[in-house]
Structure 1
Amino acid sequence: MPSPKISAALQQITATPDKQQAYQALLSQVQQASPPAQLPQDLIAILDAIFADSLGIVATRSLSGLFVQTLKSVSNGETKITVGEHALEIFQAQASSFEEQNAQVRELMASAYEDDEDNLAAAKVLAGIPLESSQRKVTNEDKVKFWIRITRNYLEVDDTILGEQYLNKAKNLIYTVSDRDLNLHFKLCQARIQDARRDFLTAAQGYHDISFLPVIAEEERLHTLSMAIKCAVLAPAGPARSRSLGRLYKDERALTLDEFPILEKMFLDRLLSPEEVTKFAEGLAPHQLATTSDGITVLAKAVVEHNLRAASQLYTNIGFDALGLLLGLEGGKAEETTARMIEQGRLVGRIDQIERVIWFEAGEATGEKGSGRAEGIVGKELRRWDANVQGLAEEVEKVTSELQLRYPDFVAANLVV
């Protein structure tokens, strides 16, 4: 029920010849005349009265626009939401005539929902704004702005599926938008979705690119650089990740971040200890600690694959059980992980299942499927040993020759025939 003052004012308007002007005057005074607790009901009563009177479409549309401006000036978010929901029902009955008012009310409600951290409701109410209509012209920049805002709200509730749908719409028009901030938000949303989808290498590149943009504060640039490092660490071990780690390791700003120690160890192919992994996990988001189809977390899988690559730099060959002990896995699981990485071209080696031994080969895998397989060649290790001995003998010969050139008397006096 409306307050007594507003009820009396509406009664007077029914007998007024110039109703449009009377409604305008009432809307301009309603916030002063109504108690805060009664304001939602008073605004609803005024809107109902405007649409109940036969004022004509032009006058009704004009008053509806003024009503929206009045609602916009209200500071209470709950009032905006309550009145807005009722207004949308009214406008929906004549949707084609009140598209602009419908859009403005939805924006007001979305802002109120965002202030209350109800991002899902904000995304849903924004999604109802008509962007393709002959009654209302919307520029490409405005469309992209709406879609990115919806995407950001869905990302706040970790709904990457719906968020990606709206980001894909923005992707088709973002090239026409010159607004610098809008392009930045688009790139950031894109990186966050790639991160959530576990496309960590692409996300790391996106975050790293954003960290160089001068339009954001230094603190934000360091935060996105930190996100880039986290994504690179979580990416599948292989040549592509090594290149990503290399770019980040060479970034001088990385030295100031908490993630630098694990970044350095991974870049240098050093084994990671459980304590280091536990400390790194404290800074990860829930989706980055999710369990994969293998039954282990994303982080645990990344660490196992990294330690396997690190072991390949330390050992020429190693047994299944010994490798499993090193990786914290059973021998059979260590063999399975190694076989998968070799097959995917992320590790060079071969597996002797009879002897239960894994042989690692020198060189870097290309990342192409099947490129990690190495053939067992008879006598290969012996020839490698011979080559090492020959190389050592040649180096000793070079040293002796240099001594004879620089210190001939010393060599002559100490030469043993």
Structure 2
Amino acid sequence: MESRLSQFAALSQKDKGPAFISLIPEILAQGDPSTVTAGLHTLVNFVVNQDSIGLVVGRQVLSELVGVLGEGAIGDAELRKRVVEDTLATIQPRIVSYEEQVNILRFQLADLLEVEEEWSDAARVLMGISLDSGQRTGGDAEKLRVYVRIVRLLLEDEDSVQAETYYNRAALLVHSTTDRVTLLQFKLCQARISDYGRKFLEAASRYHELSYVGEIDEDERRQMLLAAVTCAVLAPAGPNRSRVLASLYRDERTSELPTYNILSKMFLDHILRSTEVKEFEQTLKPHQLAKISISSNDRLASTGNDELFANEPTTSTRTGPSTVLDRAVMEHNLLASSKIYNNITFRGLGALLDLTPGAAETMARKMIEQGRLRGSIDQVEKLIWFEGNREEDDAQGKAGGLGDVEEAEDTGAPFTKRWDLQIRVTAANVESIVQHLTEKGLVTFATAAA
């Protein structure tokens, strides 16, 4: 091999390229994988690192080799992978002169690694591609495709931190393409990034939107719908989640999902039992089972009111949720209890949520502060009062704010609202009696002196 390479090197510049290229099929025809690898290494090393060969000839030979590898001249995937990796390592010292060939080889290597499900390794190979080279003509649309592919590969290995970096780069270029496939892949990356970032409401909406896209395979659309339900269940309880749950509950396809039971119970504001939660927990991915920590302020607030109940054996010792799912279920059960009770004690709520009374109060307080729960807290009586969503009384806005008031049926509203209604009814009755007495002449009003 070395003697033939030396002979070809002595040829004229015009004949060198075809002569070296003629060696490629000869080397590939060798049956022994180690012989093929060694022969190609010797050839590439000679044409790339020998200054007498010239850059033009080197590019011709490498381009031919890259094309042959891309056409599947080596059927054994493992051998092809070894050849590509060895060629990249050989070219590395002079990578600036052979950027185009190196980039194509990196794409080929990434394809091979992706088939082997080496997601992170494939992503790292793509990260090494020079996308800003003057030799590349794809522009922003090609950059976007590469970035989206890197994000997808990183998310397969749940490396959401690095994936978000490349997602942000892709977001700046998404306007540069009209390719439907690329845009759908980008939207899927959006949903998954929101999912990994615990922005579950946002992720649920995006997954649900993608589940309607006809270009996506039916099985994948079902997986997206399942992911939408999962994220909606994990989202913080409140009006926004209720709207997403309603949208999913009305989707007739969700009735066929294994998570439909917990979806329907959450939508209908039923309290979730531990057995149902454990069954749902088995369907979650590792990042959806992440542990969460309690802030020092919440921990202090959670233990502040527990001294009175410390000697009671039935009182829970938990001071807060431990996982994302744990928090979502507790907040949902708290919201569901507000539909059942007018009020509840700290101790009773703690028993319902399997928390200390102080931790139950802290959770309710935070939800009230964030507008996700309508109610108030009486710390003297250690009670949480829940407010209904009734429309304001029709009498409001009439003359004197009273008008024709009739005593309303007791609908189970909190005592404070019922008390206000009783005052309004009493005032209206007094006004009616005075008007009746005045008409009979039984009551006269003195005119104030000027």
TM-score w.r.t. the length of structure 2 is 0.78
Distance 1:379 1:188, change over 3 A: closer
Check if 1:361 corresponds to 2:387: yes
| Cα distance in structure 2, aligned partners of 1:298 and 1:222 | 24
Cα displacement string for residues 24-78 of structure 1 (whole angstroms, at most 9, x for unaligned residues): 1111222112512332222111101222442222121111111212333323343
| Cα distance in structure 2, aligned partners of 1:153 and 1:9 | 43
Q: CA RMSD in A?
A: 2.4
**Aligned position for 2:374:** 348
Secondary structure in structure 2 of the residue aligned to 1:94: helix
Specify which of 333, 336, 341 is matched with residue 307 of structure 1: 333
Question: 1:92 Cα deviation (Å)?
Answer: 3.5
Question: 1:167 Cα deviation (Å)?
Answer: 1.4
**Aligned position for 1:61:** 59
| Cα distance in structure 2, aligned partners of 1:241 and 1:166 | 29
**Aligned position for 1:49:** 46
**Aligned position for 1:40:** 37
> Residue 20 of structure 1 contacts residue 63 of structure 1 at CA under 8 Å; is this kept in 2?
yes
**Aligned position for 2:222:** 222
> Residue 204 of structure 1 contacts residue 229 of structure 1 at CA under 8 Å; is this kept in 2?
yes
> Residue 132 of structure 1 contacts residue 138 of structure 1 at CA under 8 Å; is this kept in 2?
no
Distance 1:385 1:30, change over 3 A: farther
| Cα distance in structure 1, aligned partners of 2:245 and 2:35 | 60
> Residue 9 of structure 2 contacts residue 53 of structure 2 at CA under 8 Å; is this kept in 1?
no
| Cα distance in structure 1, aligned partners of 2:11 and 2:57 | 15
> Residue 48 of structure 2 contacts residue 91 of structure 2 at CA under 8 Å; is this kept in 1?
no
| Cα distance in structure 2, aligned partners of 1:15 and 1:207 | 63
Identity %: 41
Taking the TM superposition and a 5 Å limit, the aligned residue runs for 1:85-164 are 85-164=85-164
**Aligned position for 2:308:** none
Is the deviation greater in 298-307 or in 251-260? 251-260
Query: Any unmatched runs of 5+ in structure 2?
Result: 295-320, 391-413, 426-450
| Cα distance in structure 1, aligned partners of 2:196 and 2:259 | 19
| Cα distance in structure 1, aligned partners of 2:76 and 2:143 | 28
> Residue 232 of structure 1 contacts residue 241 of structure 1 at CA under 8 Å; is this kept in 2?
yes
Secondary structure in structure 1 of the residue aligned to 2:33: coil
Cα displacement string for residues 326-360 of structure 1 (whole angstroms, at most 9, x for unaligned residues): 11212111111101101111001111111111111
Check if 1:331 corresponds to 2:328: no
| Cα distance in structure 1, aligned partners of 2:120 and 2:416 | 66
Question: 1:380 Cα deviation (Å)?
Answer: 4.0
Question: 1:105 Cα deviation (Å)?
Answer: 1.1
Question: 1:220 Cα deviation (Å)?
Answer: 1.4
| Cα distance in structure 2, aligned partners of 1:9 and 1:207 | 60
Distance 1:194 1:141, change over 3 A: same
**Aligned position for 1:231:** 231
Check if 1:28 corresponds to 2:10: no
Is the deviation greater in 74-83 or in 149-158? 74-83
| Cα distance in structure 2, aligned partners of 1:350 and 1:293 | 26
| Cα distance in structure 1, aligned partners of 2:329 and 2:415 | 34
Query: Any unmatched runs of 5+ in structure 1?
Result: 1-5, 365-376, 389-417
